[in-house]
């Protein structure tokens, strides 16, 4: 049995996924940096075809990492309605290494066009006779599933509502195929149907009953909240607008990637082919009796022995040429600029210094192409992250040992790359000083404090003011006293001016 036959028995046609696999394979090969029939090729030298290996700058991998780091890193803050809810969720997030899982998931999603974050409950025990789940040791778990393991079952306008995830695991040398189908029942709630087989994707068989011991074949989530969240780059699919799959961020930049690697490979070959060579006549390297001498180091790769027939004037010849590395480096930087623009980063995001790709750093202008593209990608990502949080909290509460209310989820992305935080803080402080911004707004948006933390902080500030008054005997002036002091200062200034006039006259 294979995957197509299995899903056909379940009443699903997966031809859409099978037809899309060729694009996933192409983008994955560029992500790995070795594309068959491009990075491996043959050159005819006049006698035979010589196999060649083209060097790769790994541009596709770099752009995936860049978008992942810009969109989701350790500075992203996720908060729930109350501090207690946020604290409990943080425990789940830490156990699942949430930041790393989502960051790496974004990288592969942008490279392959589609990715999925799937929630499950581990260490849950089910008693079939009593129909009761034992959640004493249950733990909610988050996993990322890459594109080639995702099989959409039902979708509408590219929105996947039912989906299957296929994974391959090896246990004690035996390979198993795991299939998890997230489908809706008549009540509109999600049911997770689990299957396990022996073998590989292309061919597998049923497992024994002993191998299914403790295996939950069907799990009712008791909710219409999905336990899977599909992420795609926020760009239109210009290959097939009807497919539920997204496209890679470099799907329309394959030619640029080829030109980039051609230029880089040329730079490498320029160093190899342009190195200095010394051609030595065979007579110079042998004694009169024909035995070879050790006048020259036999491991010196710059020495080449020439056949007999050279005259005395050409026994030792030198060959060297000027390297054209500067032209190749200029060509690489030109292609990097084109690639940067096509990736949505604008110009000069990348620069080649002759050894490696350097990434530009610093503050991103709000009017730049990169800022607009970043905010564009944040739209679907925020929706997915909020969904992940809600699913994890629901799983941990309904089938675990947590009690979390995740109706309100706030995701604050890292804006430090867009605006210098130091400059922003100084400007905000000035706004508070001149009365155009409230203290609460400053604490909430600049210091990322919760409402409860703000109230506590303001209360402590007032208490410190009271303590300072009591300690130093400094009491605030009454309004009448302020007016009297102002009048005295005014009169004193008037007398001073009159005295100055008399002195001058």
Q: Scan for tokens 């040329």, then name that residue.
A: 266
* Contact between residue 59 and residue 343 where contact means Cβ atoms under 8 Å apart: no
Task: Report the pLDDT value the prediction gives residue 357, as an integer from 0 to 100.
Answer: 64
CB atoms closer than 10 angstroms to residue 330: 12
460-462-466 Cα angle (round to 5): 115
* Contact between residue 92 and residue 80 where contact means Cβ atoms under 8 Å apart: no
**What tokens were used for 260?**
């980039």
- Is residue 291 classed exposed, middle or buried when 0-12, 13-18 and 19+ CB atoms within 10 A define those classes? exposed
Q: Scan for tokens 């070879």, then name that residue.
A: 292
* Contact between residue 24 and residue 147 where contact means Cβ atoms under 8 Å apart: yes
3 state SS of 310 = coil
How many whole angstroms separate alpha carbon 220 and alpha carbon 2?
A: 26
Residue 51: strand pairing partners: 42
465-to-32, 378, 475, 477 alpha-carbon distances in Å: 62, 43, 10, 14
CB atoms closer than 10 angstroms to residue 420: 13
Q: Is residue 80 within a helix (H) or strand (E), and if so which, with residue range?
A: strand 77-80
The separation between the first and the last C-alpha atoms of the chain, rounded to the nearest angstrom, is 115
3 state SS of 97 = coil
Going by C-alpha positions, the residue among 487, 407, 454 that lies closest to residue 79 is: 407
CB atoms closer than 10 angstroms to residue 427: 13
303-306 vs 277-281, strand pairing mode: parallel
Task: Report the pLDDT value the prediction gives residue 505, as an integer from 0 to 100.
Answer: 43
**What tokens were used for 501?**
């006039």
Going by C-alpha positions, the residue among 253, 236, 248, 264 that lies closest to residue 67 is: 248
How many whole angstroms separate alpha carbon 366 and alpha carbon 111?
A: 25
How many whole angstroms separate alpha carbon 374 and alpha carbon 391?
A: 26
How many whole angstroms separate alpha carbon 335 and alpha carbon 342?
A: 11
**What tokens were used for 485?**
């002091």
* Helices and strands (DSSP H and E) totals, the chain: 12, 20
3 state SS of 467 = helix
What is the C-alpha radius of gyration for the chain, rounded to an integer number of angstroms?
Answer: 35
pTM: 0.75
Mean pLDDT by 10 residues, the chain (505 residues): 92 94 97 93 81 92 95 93 94 96 97 97 76 80 96 92 93 89 95 92 81 79 96 96 96 96 88 63 59 54 56 56 79 92 87 67 65 93 97 94 93 72 72 85 81 86 72 54 54 53 47
How many whole angstroms separate alpha carbon 339 and alpha carbon 337?
A: 5
CA count, 13 A, side-chain hemisphere, 54: 25
Q: Is residue 115 within a helix (H) or strand (E), and if so which, with residue range?
A: strand 115-122
List for the chain the helix, strand, coil content (%; round to 5). Answer: 45, 20, 35
- Is residue 396 classed exposed, middle or buried when 0-12, 13-18 and 19+ CB atoms within 10 A define those classes? buried
CB atoms closer than 10 angstroms to residue 68: 20
* Contact between residue 457 and residue 443 where contact means Cβ atoms under 8 Å apart: yes
**What tokens were used for 307?**
């056949």
3 state SS of 66 = helix
Q: Scan for tokens 């007398």, then name that residue.
A: 495
* Contact between residue 231 and residue 115 where contact means Cβ atoms under 8 Å apart: yes
Task: Report the pLDDT value the prediction gives residue 202, as an integer from 0 to 100.
Answer: 82
**What tokens were used for 414?**
């890292």
**What tokens were used for 7?**
């899903």
**What tokens were used for 358?**
């350097």
* Contact between residue 151 and residue 164 where contact means Cβ atoms under 8 Å apart: yes
How many whole angstroms separate alpha carbon 91 and alpha carbon 334?
A: 47
């Amino acid at each position: 049995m294979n995957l197509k036959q299995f899903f056909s028995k379940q009443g699903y046609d997966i031809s859409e996924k099978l037809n899309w696999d060729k694009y996933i394979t192409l983008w994955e090969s560029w992500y790995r940096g070795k594309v068959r029939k491009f990075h491996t090729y043959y050159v005819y030298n006049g006698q035979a075809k010589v196999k060649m290996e083209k060097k790769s700058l790994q541009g596709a991998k770099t752009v995936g990492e860049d978008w992942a780091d810009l969109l989701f890193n350790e500075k992203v803050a996720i908060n729930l309605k109350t501090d207690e809810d946020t604290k409990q969720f943080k425990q789940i997030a830490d156990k699942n290494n949430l930041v790393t899982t989502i960051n790496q998931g974004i990288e592969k999603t942008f490279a392959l066009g589609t990715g999925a974050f799937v929630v499950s409950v581990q260490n849950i025990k089910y008693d079939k006779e009593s129909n009761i789940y034992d959640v004493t040791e249950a733990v909610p778990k988050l996993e990322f599933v890459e594109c080639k393991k995702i099989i959409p079952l039902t979708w509408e306008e590219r929105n996947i509502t039912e989906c299957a995830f296929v994974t391959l695991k090896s246990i004690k040398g035996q390979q198993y195929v795991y299939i998890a189908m997230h489908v809706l029942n008549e009540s509109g709630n999600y049911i997770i149907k689990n299957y396990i087989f022996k073998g590989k994707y292309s061919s597998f068989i049923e497992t024994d009953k002993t191998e299914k011991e403790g295996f939950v074949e069907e799990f009712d989530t008791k909710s219409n909240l999905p336990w899977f969240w599909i992420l795609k780059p926020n760009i239109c699919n210009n290959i097939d607008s009807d497919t539920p799959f997204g496209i890679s961020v470099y799907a329309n930049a394959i030619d640029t990637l080829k030109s980039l690697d051609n230029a880089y490979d040329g730079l490498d070959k320029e160093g190899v082919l342009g190195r200095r060579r010394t051609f030595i006549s065979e007579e110079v390297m042998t004694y009169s009796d024909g035995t070879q001498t050790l006048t020259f180091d036999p491991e010196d790769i710059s020495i080449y022995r020439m056949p007999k027939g050279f005259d005395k004037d050409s026994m030792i010849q030198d060959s060297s040429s000027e390297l054209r590395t500067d032209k190749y480096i200029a060509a690489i930087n030109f292609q990097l600029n084109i690639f940067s623009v096509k990736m949505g980063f604008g110009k000069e995001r990348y620069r080649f210094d002759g050894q490696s790709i350097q990434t530009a750093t610093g503050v991103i202008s709000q009017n730049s192409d990169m800022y607009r593209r970043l905010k564009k990608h944040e739209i679907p990502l925020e929706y997915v992250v909020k969904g992940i949080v809600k699913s994890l909290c629901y799983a941990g509460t309904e089938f675990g040992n947590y009690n979390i209310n995740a109706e309100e989820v706030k995701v604050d992305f890292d804006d430090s790359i867009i605006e210098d935080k130091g400059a922003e803080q100084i400007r905000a402080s000035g706004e508070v000083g001149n009365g155009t911004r409230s203290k609460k707004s400053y604490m909430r948006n600049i210091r990322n404090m919760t409402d409860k933390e703000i109230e506590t902080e303001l209360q402590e500030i007032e208490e410190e003011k009271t303590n300072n008054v009591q300690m130093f005997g400094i009491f605030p002036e009454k309004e009448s006293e302020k007016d009297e002091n102002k009048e005295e200062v005014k009169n004193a200034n008037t007398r001073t001016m009159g005295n100055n006039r008399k002195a001058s006259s």
